[in-house]
Amino acid sequence: MTETLGQFEQIVMTAIVALNDNAYGVTIHAKVEDLARPRKVTRGAVYATLDRMEDKGLIASWMSEPTPERGGRSRRHYRLEKSGLQALKESARTARRLIDTIAENLGGLGWKAPR
């Protein structure tokens, strides 16, 4: 059975998908802030969500080589696992149904689907 994702988890996973090979703490946080506008998101909340999703087996992580611009520390990179991708697709399908239903019912009132 596919895991059900919370809204914040969906945002974080979408950020990982969008960033592809460059998904690590700093970039994921920046992308999440962009996706969650106008909501402010702390980096700590992103870390906590990443840890939780990793424990569920939805994402996997690994450490890169240390780099000097980080004071000789490694980055923890993330990517979606198969179960994570399935869960995200399922969430996207649900979101699509919601948008279609809202557009169907409110379309006549001048409502436009968000872009």
- Chain contacts with another protein (rule: CB under 8 A): 24-26, 29, 42-45, 47-48, 51-52, 54-55, 57, 60-63, 67, 69-71, 73-76, 79, 81-82
Q: Which is nearer to another protein, 31 or 75 (CB)?
A: 75
CB of 22 to another protein, least distance (A): 13
Report yes or no: 36 and 10 within 8 Å, Cβ to Cβ: no
Whole-angstrom Cα distance, residue 78 to residue 42? Answer: 18
- Beta-bridged to residue 60, according to DSSP, are 79
CB of 91 to another protein, least distance (A): 21
Q: Which is nearer to another protein, 3 or 47 (CB)?
A: 47
Q: Which is nearer to another protein, 49 or 91 (CB)?
A: 49
Do you know the residue count of the chain? 115
Q: Which is nearer to another protein, 5 or 28 (CB)?
A: 28
Share in percent of the chain as helix, strand, coil (round to 5): 60, 10, 25
Q: List Cα–Cα distances, 54 to 89, 95, 97, in angstroms.
A: 18, 23, 28
CB of 4 to another protein, least distance (A): 19
76: helix, strand or coil: strand
